[in-house]
Structures are given as structure tokens and as C-alpha cells.
Structure 1
Amino acid sequence: MSDLHFVLENPQDNNRREHKKRPRLVTSCDNCRAKKLKCIKGGENAPCESCTSSGVTCEFRDRDQYFAERSAKSVNAASNSPGSQRPQLSPRARSSVPDYGPSQRGEDLTKRPGSSRSQKSTKSLSSPPLLPSHCPQPTYDSRSAIPDDTPPLFDSNQWQRPNPTLMVSFVNAFYRTGGQQFGFLVYDGLMQQVYTNDLDHVLANSIAAWATRYEKIPELGKLDRTSVSEQYVSRAKLLFSSLPPGPNLSALHALIVLAWLQSSHLDEFYAFAQAANKMSSDMNISAISMSSGDPSHRQVLQQTWSSVSHLMNVSNASTSEGIKPRQ
């Protein structure tokens, strides 16, 4: 009996313990959820059958609001945790001290896109910088022109990425204004990466640049859309200049998006198109897209290769004839 120990616990202690909740999976649109119908979609970005037959907009506002709330909570928890604060670097120091965080590491193309735990490629590429020297780099602090009641454009704890509390609005605006044309970017996959903070920083800035260029974001108030978009473009360029060697599918997707975003500036359009073409060649996308075992990943690679080929055709025609590129 001497080996027995009795421990008295308060039954209410279990309620005080923090349990990490699993993300709520919302697979049905708002209309189907309200009518308690099975939501059947014809494709990744296509409206469901019920909304199509009813002639109503197929929206996921409940899911988007949930992701936004969860993202805001995770950001607040990270900012309040010990060791989360890092000193703010001056703009000049930022350009000379690249951060090789998980989302900037090269991705193993045999893995599914979007995974932040893909093994880093051992292949070394002794290639020149992705973008030519005539593409300007940011030398200013973008926060100086933002009113006090407007959320910052960038994450105060990770200067490489946009403010995560704005990313749900950015992704939705991106798809509403033409982002669905980029078939290699799947809405559900992007939203999941936004929630888990796994979205590649370069790609996140590219999506933010596109969204703020073509749609007014309510959270940003009266800020000039063109100016905000250019700040995200500049941040993406800065990150491109410090990318480590190796395959990076998310960076390639970002180059394609930025090329079309800058189509009104022929020099930058051509620079981004050439950088995308070179990266896809280094990654051997055309061959890998035929050999990938995962059908969904193979489709992403095939659509990526098709987008690069189309981009180069338009780029060559535009530069030779001096006409504005059209997507």
C-alpha cells in the first residue's frame, strides 16, 4: 500500500486546459448549407450544380469568415508569444539581409505544391539573378504613408509577407478579377495555405499585388490601389533577388502572375516572362509534368508548363511587333 499515491484534482481543471481545435472543414457553399443540400461542383473553381440551376451566386462567405477569424487569432497569438518580436530592419538593411524562411526554400517537385515541409532540392543552379538589374528594388518603408486607422500592408513580425489578416480578402479579390485564369492556382488550396500560414511569401505578394491593382479592398480604405499594388510588386522583386538555388514551383507561379500584372509595362513584362521561362527550364517542368505520379499534381505541372509556353509566345510577339500583351 505504500506504493499507492492518490492525486486529488478539480473536475473543472479539464475545462481550463487548452485544446487545439481542428480546422472546421467547410465544403458546401452558403446556398447549399442554408438549404441543407449536397454541394456538387463541376470543377475546382466552378459553381455548384444547385447554384447553377437556381441562378444564384455560388459563394463561401461562411468559410471565408471562419478562415479570416482563425488567421487573425493565430497572428495575435504569435505576436504575443515570447520571442516572437524581432527588431525592425531599416529598408536598406532589409535588402541586404535575405531571410531564408521555410516558404522561400526550394520545393521538391515530386511533392504536392503548397507543402512547406517539402525536402530542399540538392541540385545547385549557378544561374544569374532571376530579374535583370533594370527592375527597380524598393528603398523605402511603405508604412510611412498608411493612415493610423488602416491595417499595415505587411506583417509586422515577418516583413517578407503581406499582412496575413488581409490575405483572405486578397485571395477572393484575386479570383474575382481574373485569377481563375491561372489554372495552376487552386482556390481551396490557397485558402488552406492562408489559414495555416504556409503560403509562399513571393506568391503571397504577387496575389496581393494583383488583388489590390484590380479591386478596391475595403480594409485598405482610401489608399491608392496602384500605389499599394506597386509596393507588393516591389516586395516580391526583393524576395526574388534573394531566392536560394533550387526548384521553387511557387516562385514560378508568382513570376507568371507578375508578368501578366505588368503587361502594360513591356520591359517588365518581358523581364518576368524571361525569368519564368528560365526557371521552368531549370526545373524541367515539361518532362516532370508527364511523369508525376499524383494526377492532381501532374495537372498543376501541365497547366504551369502551358502557361509558361503561352507567356513566352505572347512575349516574343509583343517585343517583335511592339504591341501591348494580351492574356
Structure 2
Amino acid sequence: MNPRVIGTVRSHLVSREQCPKYGDASMPPVWIELAPDFEPAATDLQVGDSILVLTWMHQGDQSVLRCHPQGNRELPMRGIFSTRSPDRPTPIGLHAVRILGREGLRLKVHPLEVIDGTPVIDIKPDNTPCPAQTEFSSLVNPDTGQAILTAGRDGWQRGLFAGFNGNVSIRQGERVVITATGSAKGHLSPKDLAVVDLSTGTPVSSVRASSEIAVHLEVYRNQPRAKAIVHTHPPKLLALSLRGEGPLLDLPLFEGRVFADKLTRVPAHRPGTVELAQAVGQASRDFEAVFMDNHGLVCWGDSMIQALGLSEELESLAGIAMTR
């Protein structure tokens, strides 16, 4: 039995193949056209409201009980109830969106990743407390979350982060908690934390992870001792690298020898690429600090304090080297 339809989605997406697996912040907004009969029910919906939209995924295969997550056949099959596949016994979609505009019974919402013509079967207020209200979400261990927030603030105060650059993560079992894309490291809050599956890279939370998530995943996969990672853009170390004068930290100091031995360098690769991630991951097998030419520094440790502390030591030595 099909449910009662209250409206229809009008979207730029016209096929299942075009739909992202999760609501993507980079997508354009779409419209929901409500049927006239339901005008009284929609009276109090306003621009800015967070709502839950339930859709009837009419092109879903209701006979499917197991699938490859995200349609990736390289991943093992899972029971359909542990996935977001549109193919399921009762093909109901649940989407957390915000109303960006309203024209009568037309609601402009974002992000909604269904195809044009998808029936809407219900709308509810999203009363789920956001992480900022309940501190950290149920996906993030409070100690893990606080360690990341503190590292972002401390690194920013020491000049290792500027504006929105860099990223910080901690391994939490078989998941990785990492700063969100576009987050200011000196002013992080719980809502700036994303959670990703370590083995597959699949998002576990609705928060979008840093664009450098692949680097973090490759380090954790290649270096089992890594529990925390700090990726900074240290200005002194970057400036020193641009001089092109031999090794980065060739100093006749005890500390220089100790910490320089922890550092290696990889050639320049475009940020966010598989090539960069793989280069850093492989280098992390033998070194605790990896300098990425024309980009920045990645340090790992068995704790956030160790990873951030190593970043600070190397930047301090770079400052000394700059004055020679």
C-alpha cells in the first residue's frame, strides 16, 4: 500500500545516478510543491526552519534486503536496514533540511538529494538537539571532541593555523573524528566535528569532513601507532622550504638532530588528491612528521598532545634556522 502523497520534489536531479549518497552542501537547493489540500498544515512553516522531509522513493526496488554500501561492489554486502539505500522493503527517505525560501505552497529546501518528481509523504519539525546544544553528538566521545577543540585553539594561538586552513583528527576505534570543511581552527565548536568510517571513508555523520580527510585516513591505515593527527600550515617552516637551501632543519643543535630525524618531505601534490594522501600515508610508516612541499605539515602521535607538540617543536626549529 502506497502512503498518502502531500507534495512533490522539483529538483535538478533527473536520474538515480546523479543523486549523491548523502545531502551535499555543494548542491543547489530544490523545491517542494505541496498539494493545495495541505495548505492549513503548512501554515506555520517559515524560512529558516529545520525540518525532516519524508519521501517515497518510488524508483526503489522493494525486493532488496542486502546491498553493497553506496553501490560500491568492492565493499562487503550489508543488510539494507544498516544502509541508506533507496532500494528497501518500504522505500521511505528521511532528509534533514532547512527551509531557505517560501512561495505560497512551494518550499525551497537544502540539502535534498532525491530525483525530480519524488513524492513527499510527510514533513515534521526537526527537534533533534544539535551538537552545540548537547555538547558532542552521540557519535563523538566527549574526551575525543574536547581534545580536538583544544588542539585547534592551541595551534591557532601558536600561529600554526590561520583562518580556515589545516585540520585535526583523532582515531576513535574504527572511526575517525575530524574537523569539518571550512571550520576555523581557533574557534571550533562541537558542530564542527565530522565522523568518518576508517576502512571505507564513508561519512557516518551529517557534518562534512575536511577536504584532506584522505590524508588522515591513509596515515591511520599505514601507521597503527597513530592515534591523533595535526595538519598545520606553519609559516616559518613553509618560508624555510621556499628558500630551497638543502635540508629543512639542518641545525647543529641537539634538539635539531632529535626532531629533524622525525621529519621527512614529500613532493608537491595537489591538496585533496589521492596522490597526496598516498604519499603522506606511505611516509608515515617511518616518520612522525611529513612535510608536504608547497602545502604544509602533517604530524601524528599516540595522543593529540604528542602530535601538536611535534608540530610546535618543528616550527620553533624553523624559526631558529630562519635567523642563521
TM bucket, shorter chain: under 0.3
Q: TM-score, normalised by structure 1?
A: 0.24
- Relative to total residues, which structure has the larger strand share, 1 or 2? 2
Higher relative contact order (CA 8 A, sep 6+): 1
Computing the radius of gyration from Cα coordinates, the structure with the larger value is 2
- Relative to total residues, which structure has the larger helix share, 1 or 2? 1
Q: TM-score, normalised by structure 2?
A: 0.24
